[in-house]
């Protein structure tokens, strides 16, 4: 269930609380090692990082999950680290691939000295905390070196979602009856996120919406099962179609926003 929070201009998703135990269940994979090693084929995190940071740079992924992006960066020449609070998953990764620098930790209180990293990746993390992301943002700033880059993604209020709020498509959020036990995530207002990070001492380098087809099918109402079937289709034609639609629709229906920010 999604509600529109008029005060903060964001959607509130009430489903299941995104606890460490919840994420451990998501990453219960008998072929976990194979899944991590497949990160070498990803074409998002590494190419983006390489555009801004030289090989050998020290990079942290906060909320790294099973660590496939950490592996992608490590295997291609970066000094990559990962932190996650899903204890069972972290233990399994440490056992399966001990050379990966992944540890148990809390992105709201990192156990690294000030100005440790040249880069910090946060992929769909800040939206999962009902109390907000202020502590996470401050830790990002603290552990980055001056001139370091923050690569940040989160679900956002796309033009389609904003249009739906205009027509009253979502029930209104009542903060006095906030069901935090079943809170899953927010879809955040991108200008507000940018404003917040600028106030902390970051400058905006780039912003780009992604995953237009997911954003479209998630907002398609009674037609969602039809588009979900296409989204889940793993054939060559299915994957090619969803990839093309994701790019084409991203400016209007993007599910996530990528912000690239630089610490002053």
C-alpha torsion sign, points 42, 90, 151, 116: negative
Report pLDDT for 125: 97
Q: Please report, rounded to a whole number, the percentage of residues in the chain having pLDDT higher than 70.
A: 100
The mean of the pLDDT values for the chain is 95
| CA distances to 16, 29, 133, 172, 177 from 180, in Å | 9, 28, 15, 16, 9
CA distance 70 to 64: 7
Note the pLDDT tens digit of each residue in 172-186.
Answer: 999 998 988 899 999
Q: Give φ, ψ of 123 to 5 degrees.
A: -110, 100
Superfamily for 15-157+174-210+256-263? Vaccinia Virus protein VP39 (3.40.50.150)
Domain ranges of the chain: 15-157+174-210+256-263
Lowest mean pLDDT among 13-17, 102-106, 162-166: 13-17
Note the pLDDT tens digit of each residue in 95-131.
Answer: 999 999 999 999 999 999 999 999 999 999 999 999 9
């Amino acid at each position: 269930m999604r509600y529109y929070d008029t005060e903060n201009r964001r959607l509130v998703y009430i489903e299941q609380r995104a606890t460490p135990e919840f994420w451990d269940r998501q990453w219960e994979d008998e072929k976990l090692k194979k899944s991590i090693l497949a990160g070498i084929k990803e074409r998002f995190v590494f190419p983006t990082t390489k555009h801004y940071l030289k090989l050998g740079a020290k990079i942290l992924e906060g909320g790294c999950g099973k660590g496939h992006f950490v592996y992608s960066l490590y295997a291609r020449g970066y000094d990559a680290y990962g932190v996650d609070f899903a204890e069972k998953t972290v233990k399994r990764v440490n056992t399966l691939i001990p050379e990966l620098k992944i540890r148990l930790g809390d992105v709201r209180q990192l156990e690294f000295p000030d100005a440790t990293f040249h880069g910090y990746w946060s992929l769909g993390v800040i939206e999962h905390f009902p109390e907000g992301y202020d502590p996470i943002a401050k830790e990002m700033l603290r552990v980055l070196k001056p001139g370091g880059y923050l690569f940040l993604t989160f679900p956002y209020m796309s033009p389609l979602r904003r249009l739906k709020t205009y027509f009253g498509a979502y029930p209104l959020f009542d903060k006095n009856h906030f069901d935090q036990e079943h809170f899953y995530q927010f879809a955040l207002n991108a200008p507000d996120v940018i404003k917040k990070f600028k106030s902390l001492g970051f400058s905006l380098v780039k912003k780009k919406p992604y995953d237009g087809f997911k954003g479209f099918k998630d907002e398609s109402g009674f037609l969602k099962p039809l588009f979900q079937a296409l989204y889940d289709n793993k054939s060559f034609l299915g994957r090619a179609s969803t990839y093309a639609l994701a790019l084409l629709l991203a400016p209007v229906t993007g599910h996530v926003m990528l912000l690239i920010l630089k610490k002053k």
